[in-house]
Structure formats: structure tokens, C-alpha cells
Amino acid sequence: MIQAAVLGYGTVGSGVVEVIEENRSVIKRNVGEELHVKYILDLRDFPGDPYEKKVIHDFTQIMEDDEVKIVCETMGGVGAAYAFTKQALAAGKSVCTSNKELVAAHGPELLALAAAHKCSYLFEASVGGGIPIIRTLNNALTADRIEAITGILNGTTNYILSKMEKEGASFEAVLKEAQEKGYAERNPEADVEGYDTCRKIAILSSLMTGKSVNYEKIYTEGITKITARDFAYARALGMSIKLLALSRRVGEETLAMTAPFLISSDSPLYTVNGVFNAVLVKGNMLGESMYYGRGAGKLPTASAVAADVVDCARHMGETLTCFWDAGEAALVSMDNVARRFFFRVKAGCKERIEKLFGEGLQEIQLPEASEETGYVTGVMKEKEFAALYEQIADVLAGSRIRIEA
Ligand code: HSE
């Protein structure tokens, strides 16, 4: 029998215990022996919980118990979670986590520590919730050079944008409703400002390049400036608006960014709605493949952590491979990236706009909005667009949105 411990009995941690205990027989078949959760570490007690007897408050109990071979870190944050992860790996106990903050900040260090102590550091649940995208990059697409990754990686913002699109509602109204229903955090900043997505694309970009992509250097823009009117223009263009995470190879360098984009109905990501996530991966041999599923929520995320536990249990005494070195990947500036842009200006400045933006400009006049006009530019570099956009600051009627080809 293999014994595991769970650190943090919140939404994901309790889900992990539920998955391992309820799917005991299928996990036994897949591991080849029984797998149990021996301890649940939390500061709180859980009277009446079916697993209350497993709850402990002292991490050293786990460290001193040689029977515990696998630790699930579902605490979150980079404080105690980081310290406990290092201690466990240094003692040869594998760690499986959903903690994208910790993985994005210290991934290579923790992978090296695991390798030095013949155990594993696995983080399937840190990106895309229940979608097995990390395993796909590490174990399935290993004969391809990955050229690009494009993802909808945050369930909360995709839920908000989908609802704004469907109901013509404002960002503020949908966010409030999402908070009431528990789909968005009381402090929604990490989701709506794009920080969560940024960390996830940093992890995927690191696996794509095999080097460390520093999340602090990734251009990140959230969805707080997107309005119901923007969706009306999107509809007129046959497009949708999604918070995308992009990672592309540009020569020997990498372009990584997070921002809202207008995407056409031809994009496979167009129909990804609600809390669902999807990751589009382009390999140089395979071409495009897409991975879709629930990107957030207790059981989908817990299922991914538990699958990592099963993997560790099947490879006791080994280190599961992950190609992610500590050396920093070179990121390209967005300045020279060329794309089309959408922007809105007040009525009465058509001539000025046409003169500035020249060829390839497309005008969109919504019947219900005679006080303003929308425009889609021809293909131009970010820095060229930014320079022109600055010149029309006095007549803007909304914020610009990039267009993903
Ligand atoms: N807040 C995150 C989301 C949770 O909405 O996607 C999963 O990482």
C-alpha cells in the first residue's frame, strides 16, 4: 500500500481526498496496489467531515512518517507551500500540486530538487484545471518542436466574457453575479487582471522552450476594460472576445503575452465558453491539436492532482521527466509583432482617422451607436499602432482590442 498526505483541505485538497477515496478501486488497478490518504494537513479542524480523523496540524508528522511517499500540495501561495514542498522533495517524497504561483515562481528549482532525491515534482493541475496539457507536452508531443501555444486558461474570465456576450451585460454586472454564485473570488484581481493566466502561460511557455519564462516579464492585460458595446462590434464582425494567452517561437526567442483578443468564428477557440478552458498547440510535424475541458472547479482540478499521484505511485524511486531548465528564455518585445487592431472613436472624425491609418482600414457603424464609429486597421506593428493611437487619444470612445488572425 502507498500512503499519501494532502496539504491544505480547501476546495482542491478536499477534492483530491474525495477522488482518491471514491475511485479507490480504479486507482488500485492503475497503480497495481492500494493508494491511501494517511494525513490531511490544515490549520483548521473539520468536525463531522468523513475524513476528520486524518486531519493533523503539524507538518513534521508527515515528514517523520516514512510510509508517506507522496505529498499533494493544495495550499496555494509561495510561503509555507514553498517551504513544505522543498522539505518533502529533499526527503525523497514526491510532490503533486495545483499551485501555479509556486510552479511559475520556482518550477526549475523544485524539479532539480526532485531529481536530486529520486522523486518527482508534478503540476498537471496548475494549468487548465482538469485538462491534461502538462502531461501532453511532457509525454505525448515529444517528437515535435512546439511552435506555438494559444490558450483560454482562466475559467472565471471566460465565464464572465461568455455571459457578457450572451446577455449584452456589463463587466461589472456579470462580475457581481459571478461572485454571488461563487464562480469569481471576492477579490477577483488575479483572474480579471490576467495575472492567473499570465502564470499559466509562463508555465506552458517554459515547457515549450525547455527554459524558464519569467512570468514577471510577460505582457499582461486583463478584461476589466471590455464593455457590452465591444461585444456588439464583435458580433457585427462575426467575432468573439476572449482572454487569450499566447506563446510563439520567434526565431530563437519567444513571444509570450496575455490580453483580450477579438477572434474570428473560424478559430477553434471561438466556441470555448463558460468555465471551460482550451489549449491549442502547434507542433512542427503534428500541426494543430486542441485540448479542451473544465479549467477550474473542485473535482476537475482534483482529478488532475490525483492523476499525478497515480503517476508517482507507478514510478516510485524514479523521477518523472520534465524538460524545464533554470536558464532564462529570451523573450521578444511585442513592438515588432504585426496584427490588426480594433478601436472606437467619437463620431465626426472620419477624415482624420482615414488620413492617419490609411489603407486597409475597415469602418463599422452600429445602427444603435451613431455617436461613435468602430474601426479595424490593416496589419501593422504594435509600435506603429501605438504611435497612431496616441495621436487620437482625444477622440477615443473605448479601448483598443487586438485581433488574433
Ligand atoms: N481562478 C482560476 C480560474 C482557477 O478561474 O481559472 C483555476 O486555476
Distance in angstroms (rounded) separating the CA atoms of residues 252 and 255:
10
State CA 314 to chain mean position distance.
27
**Parts of the chain belonging to CATH 3.30.70.120:** 335-404
Residue with C-alpha cell 492585460? Answer: 221
Ligand 1 atom closest to the CA of 185, numbered from 1: 1
> What is the reported pLDDT for 50?
96
Distance 155 CA to ligand 1 centre (A): 5
- Show the beta-strand stretches assigned E in 8-67: 35-41, 55-56
> What is the reported pLDDT for 13?
98
CATH topology of domain 134-294: Dihydrodipicolinate Reductase; domain 2 (3.30.360)
Is the pLDDT reported for residue 230 higher than 80? yes
Residue with C-alpha cell 498526505? Answer: 5
Indicate the top mutation candidate among 97, 102, 191 to test ligand 1's pocket, ranked by most ligand atoms within 8 A of CB: 191
Q: Please answer whether residues 228 and 168 qualify as being in contact, where contact means their C-beta atoms are separated by less than 8 angstroms.
A: yes
Distance 191 CA to ligand 1 centre (A): 7
Radius of gyration, CA atoms only, the chain? 23
Ligand 1 atom closest to the CA of 295, numbered from 1: 6
> Which residues is 258 bridged to in the sheet?
220, 245
Indicate the top mutation candidate among 152, 196, 298 to test ligand 1's pocket, ranked by most ligand atoms within 8 A of CB: 196
Is the pLDDT reported for residue 405 higher than 80? no
Q: Please answer whether residues 125 and 301 qualify as being in contact, where contact means their C-beta atoms are separated by less than 8 angstroms.
A: yes
Q: Residue 278 contacts by C-beta under 8 Å, 6 or more apart in sequence?
A: 131, 151, 152, 268, 269, 272, 290, 291, 292, 293
Q: How far is CA 197 from CA 129, 329, 400, in A?
A: 12, 19, 20
Distance 154 CA to ligand 1 centre (A): 5
> What is the reported pLDDT for 250?
94
Distance in angstroms (rounded) separating the CA atoms of residues 117 and 150:
34
Indicate the top mutation candidate among 74, 103, 156 to test ligand 1's pocket, ranked by most ligand atoms within 8 A of CB: 156
Distance in angstroms (rounded) separating the CA atoms of residues 25 and 38:
17
- H/E stretch holding 282: strand 276-283
CATH class of 335-404: alpha beta
User: What values do phi and psi take at 251, rounded to 5?
Assistant: 65, -130
Q: Can 100 be counted among the known catalytic residues?
A: no
Residues in the chain: 405
Distance 11 CA to ligand 1 centre (A): 12
Look at residues 354, 355, 401, 371 and name the one whose alpha carbon lies nearest to residue 363: 354
User: What values do phi and psi take at 165, rounded to 5?
Assistant: -65, -45
Distance 204 CA to ligand 1 centre (A): 15
Ligand 1 atom closest to the CA of 127, numbered from 1: 8
Residue nearest to atom 4 of ligand 1 (CA): 296
Confidence of residue 355 (pLDDT cuts 50, 70, 90): very high
> What is the reported pLDDT for 397?
97
Q: What burial class does residue 219 get, using C-beta atoms within 10 Å of its C-beta: 0-12 exposed, 13-18 middle, 19+ buried?
A: middle
Is the pLDDT reported for residue 182 higher than 90? no
> Which residues does ligand 1 sit against, CB inside 6 Å?
129, 154-156, 191, 196, 295-296
Average pLDDT for residues 74-88, to the nearest whole number? Answer: 97
Residue nearest to atom 7 of ligand 1 (CA): 296
Distance in angstroms (rounded) separating the CA atoms of residues 155 and 27:
28
Distance 36 CA to ligand 1 centre (A): 27
Ligand 1 atom closest to the CA of 197, numbered from 1: 6
In eight-state DSSP terms, residue 397 is S
Q: How far is CA 291 from CA 84, 100, 206, 300, 374, in A?
A: 32, 19, 18, 14, 34
Of all residues in the chain, the percent with pLDDT exceeding 70 is 100
Query: pLDDT tens for residues 20-70?
Result: 999 999 999 999 999 999 999 999 999 999 999 999 999 999 999 999 999
Q: Residue 198 contacts by C-beta under 8 Å, 6 or more apart in sequence?
A: 215, 218, 220, 245, 258
Question: Amino acid identity, residue 271?
Answer: T
Distance in angstroms (rounded) separating the CA atoms of residues 305 and 316:
17
- H/E stretch holding 278: strand 276-283
**Parts of the chain belonging to CATH 3.40.50.720:** 2-129+298-314
Query: pLDDT tens for residues 260-309?
Result: 999 999 999 999 999 999 999 999 999 999 999 999 899 999 999 999 99
Distance in angstroms (rounded) separating the CA atoms of residues 282 and 44:
45
Confidence of residue 7 (pLDDT cuts 50, 70, 90): very high
Is the pLDDT reported for residue 188 higher than 80? yes
The per-residue pLDDT of the chain, averaged, comes to 97
> What is the reported pLDDT for 313?
98
Catalytic residue among 69, 200, 211, 242: 200
Q: Please answer whether residues 54 and 7 qualify as being in contact, where contact means their C-beta atoms are separated by less than 8 angstroms.
A: no
Q: How far is CA 347 from CA 241, 351, 363, 375, 395, in A?
A: 24, 11, 12, 12, 8
What is the widest separation between alpha-carbon atoms in the chain? 76
Is the pLDDT reported for residue 359 higher than 90? no
Look at residues 268, 244, 282, 241 and name the one whose alpha carbon lies nearest to residue 400: 241
> What is the reported pLDDT for 271?
97
CATH class of 2-129+298-314: alpha beta
